[in-house]
Amino acid sequence: MKNRLAPYAFVAPAVALLLAFGVLPILVAVLVSLTDMNLGGLGDWSRISFIGTENYRRLLSDNEFWQSLTNTGIFAILGVPAVIVVSLVIALLLNRANNRYFRALRSFYFLPAITAIVAIALVWGYLYNTQFGLFNYLLSSVGLPQVQWLSDPIWVKLSVALVAVWRGTGLNIIIFLAALQSVPKEYLEAADLDGASELRKTVSVVIPLMRFAIFFVTITTIIAWLQFFDEPFVLTKGGPLGESTSISLFLYQKGFSASQFGYASAGSVILFVIIAFVTLVQLRARRTDVDH
């Protein structure tokens, strides 16, 4: 005699919260993006008016929007390959032995992934500081010129991306290590019998067998970099002159600093469409991969 309402009572709270903060926001964003909602409209809904696709038209002719979109692209081009190559190489090396020392090393590589970005950004800001930062001191001690880490329009992109790469590798190393477990030993032993070198085995046996893990990490890393926010927000506030502003940071500034909720929502919808597109590509490719 099962209580027929019991399952609903169990799932209701979590599902209600997911609907309220996962699904509803997308609908709200679409709706608000068609209005001129600002700080006035926040307190008094009668001051909001419907303006159709005006926000989207303005957005597409907004230089700041295109700059943030371009910056996000540059960040992704710098960051995605770096994160993947670094984590793959470290995972392959870490997998070469399984003693206490190698297991302890894993934790070191993993640390940046679980520590608060706010605190981390302060530390890096201190290292990058041009008056008393460690990095410029190290450069000067080997006779190299000083670098304006966070105020040069080009260097700032590299500096901000470096922090994110440093923080982004730990999780992917773990995923790659898990994938390395599933490489069948027989293949490696067969390669050994053929006299294949360590490098040859890695390139010809291990990496092809890991292609799905690599593909998976590539997609999730691309999505993560499309949402890039924390590092530039804390390190540079998007400066100098918007040179390190990502799309997410642009949306935050328009939404919360300038209180243009309608305008920022239109940007959110565009970002959502871009990310949904990448996700669909991922799902489709995964299906094809499973088929083979």
Partner 1 sequence: MLITEASPHRTDTAITRTRPPRVRRTGSSGRLVTGAVLGIGALITAFPFAWMVAASLKPRSESVAYPPDLLPKHPTLQFFKQLFSELDFGHYLLNTIAVVAISMVGVVLMAMAGYGFAKFRFRGREPLFFLVLATMMIPVQVTMIPTYLILNGMKLTNTLLGIALPALVSGFSVFLFRQFMSTIPTELIEAARIDGAGEARIFWRLILPLSKPIIAVQIVLTFIASWNSFLWPLIVADDEKLYTLSVGVSLLNRQLATNPSLQMAGATLMVVPILVVFVIFQRFVVQGFTLSGLK
Interaction with partner 1 in 7-26: which residues (CB under 8 A)? 7-11, 13-15, 17-26
Stretch that binds partner 1, among 60-68, 77-85, 95-103, 151-159 (CB under 8 A): 95-103
Exposed / middle / buried, residue 159 (Cβ in 10 Å: 0-12, 13-18, 19+): buried
Task: Please tell me whether residue 281 binds partner 1 under the rule CB under 8 A.
Answer: no
Binding mask 46-85 for partner 1 (x = CB under 8 A): ----------------------------------------
User: Residue 65 or 216: which CB sits closer to partner 1?
Assistant: 216
Residue whose structure tokens are 């943030």: 68
For 217, the 3-state DSSP assignment is: helix
Stretch that binds partner 1, among 59-67, 77-85, 152-160, 168-176 (CB under 8 A): 168-176
CB of 106 to partner 1, least distance (A): 8
Question: Contact with partner 1 (CB under 8 A): which of 115, 146, 204, 257?
Answer: 115
Distances (CA, A) of 20 to 14, 126, 173, 246: 10, 40, 34, 27
Question: Contact with partner 1 (CB under 8 A): which of 36, 171, 225, 232?
Answer: 171
Task: Please tell me whether residue 229 binds partner 1 under the rule CB under 8 A.
Answer: yes
Residue whose structure tokens are 């600002």: 38
Task: Please tell me whether residue 4 binds partner 1 under the rule CB under 8 A.
Answer: yes
Question: Contact with partner 1 (CB under 8 A): which of 69, 76, 117, 156?
Answer: 117
Q: CA-to-CA distance for 114 and 239, rounded, in angstroms?
A: 26
Question: Contact with partner 1 (CB under 8 A): which of 55, 87, 221, 248?
Answer: 248
DSSP 125-154: HHHH-TTT-HHHHHHHHTTPPP--TTTSTT
Stretch that binds partner 1, among 50-58, 62-70, 151-159, 269-277 (CB under 8 A): 269-277
Stretch that binds partner 1, among 51-59, 74-82, 154-162, 250-258 (CB under 8 A): 250-258
Q: Which tokens hold the place of 57?
A: 């038209």
User: Residue 63 or 104: which CB sits closer to partner 1?
Assistant: 104
Q: Which tokens hold the place of 224?
A: 């993560």
User: Residue 37 or 88: which CB sits closer to partner 1?
Assistant: 37
Contacts of residue 85, defined as CB under 8 A and 6 or more positions apart, other chains included, come to: none
CA angle (200 as vertex; 196, 206 as ends), nearest 5: 105
Closest by CA to 182, choosing from 207, 217, 210, is 210
User: How many residues are given for the chain?
Assistant: 292
